[in-house]
Structure 1
Amino acid sequence: MSGLPDPEQAAVSNRTFGCVRLVRNKTLAERHAAFFQRGPRTRDHPLPPTSRSWR
């Protein structure tokens, strides 16, 4: 027992964190684009329909 994950646990963790990074990066990209198109008040506007296609 070394405290390290076995290969199967490592694969699950890598897959999970990869998905989390993907969603976070896509969300940040949309917020960044919205900021420069509409200004800093991005929460007052609904997300564009394209953002729903990858959810």
Structure 2
Amino acid sequence: MLGYAALFFILALIAGILGFGGIASAAAGIAKVLFVVFLILLVVSLVTGFVGAA
């Protein structure tokens, strides 16, 4: 899932450089959402790991 966030981030950078504003903002929005989802899953897995280890 982090790979998808990185892919959309790179797509947003390329589209921004080439001047496609709508595509860049859409790709950046998707990248932000995927990154937040990844962070939430990371925190959940860390908490689960610490609870399971105790």
Q: TM-score, normalised by structure 2?
A: 0.62
Return 5+ residue gaps in structure 2 as ranges. 1-13
CA–CA separation in structure 2 for the residues paired with 1:33 and 1:18: 23
How far residue 30 of structure 1 moved from its aligned partner, in angstroms, is 0.3
Q: Which residue of 2 aligns with 1:32?
A: 46
How far residue 25 of structure 1 moved from its aligned partner, in angstroms, is 0.3
Aligned residues between the structures = 36
**Paired residue secondary structure (1:8):** helix
The root-mean-square deviation of aligned C-alpha atoms, in Å, is: 0.9
Q: Percent identity?
A: 11
Q: Which residue of 1 aligns with 2:27?
A: 13
* 1:15-54, Cα deviation, whole Å (9 max, x unpaired): 0000100110000000001111112xxxxxxxxxxxxxxx
- Structure with higher Rg: it is 1
